[in-house]
């Protein structure tokens, strides 16, 4: 899948979505934060918000395509810098798992490493896309692929550093793009038992 209007700098959110769309995204992000705090279920059916997020979803699917896994388990992730900045950047990553005996490199961790290398101060939104699977660490079965136990521990550690906040949104997209889940980092960590 190729982006029709490929931006000159793919990490530039305003060039990818357009200035007016970024402002709308900031407003929607605030609405989503209110929605998440006021509801028990983080599951969200595809809505008109998908039109706003479709380019971001397309970009995360592009990163997913570049993933390499010996068992064809491909995951893509993008992180969006603080939306209060005039021109937030996008950081992407793809998972790599060469064979059964090598340590996997998670898409989320590769994107976080890229963000830290480029001196990112705060992440507002994390978007991941991959096939759902049973979480061995927490025992949960989810409708979309949540970050793995090691990624969740890393997120918990990065809260102390300030790169990720408890209110950072985590959007997990199903590869079919028929539905996605939206929750905060705090809700994600509570769901999987990392915080009480």
pLDDT digits 0-9 by tens, 42-93: 444 445 455 557 778 888 999 999 999 999 999 999 999 988 888 889 999 9
Domain extent for 60? 13-191
Matching residue, tokens 């989320």? 108
**Which H or E run contains 150?**
helix 149-161
Whether 6 is covered by a domain: the verdict is no
* Length reported for the chain: 196
pTM (2 d.p.): 0.76
Whether 5 is covered by a domain: the verdict is no
CATH number at residue 70: 3.40.140.10
Whether 7 is covered by a domain: the verdict is no
The percentage of the chain sitting over the pLDDT mark of 90, rounded to a whole number, equals 50
Matching residue, tokens 């915080």? 195
For residue 39, is it left (φ>0), alpha (ψ between -120 and 50) or beta?
beta
């Amino acid at each position: 899948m190729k982006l029709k209007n490929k931006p000159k700098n793919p990490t530039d959110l305003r060039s990818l979505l357009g200035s007016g769309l970024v402002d709308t995204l900031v407003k929607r992000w605030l609405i989503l934060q209110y929605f998440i705090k006021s509801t028990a279920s983080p599951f969200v059916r595809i809505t008109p918000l998908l039109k706003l997020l479709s380019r971001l979803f397309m970009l995360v699917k592009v990163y997913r395509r570049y993933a390499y896994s010996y068992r064809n388990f491909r995951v893509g992730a993008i992180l969006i810098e603080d939306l209060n900045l005039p021109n937030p950047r996008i950081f992407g990553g793809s998972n790599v798992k060469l064979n059964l005996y090598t340590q996997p490199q998670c898409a989320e961790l590769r994107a976080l490493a890229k963000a830290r290398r480029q001196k990112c101060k705060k992440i507002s939104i994390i978007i991941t896309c991959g096939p759902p699977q049973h979480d061995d660490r927490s025992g949960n079965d989810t409708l979309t692929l949540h970050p793995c136990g090691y990624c969740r521990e890393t997120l918990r550690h990065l809260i102390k550093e300030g790169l990720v906040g408890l209110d950072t949104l985590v959007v997990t997209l199903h590869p079919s793009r028929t539905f996605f889940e939206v929750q905060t980092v705090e809700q994600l960590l509570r769901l999987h038992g990392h915080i009480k």
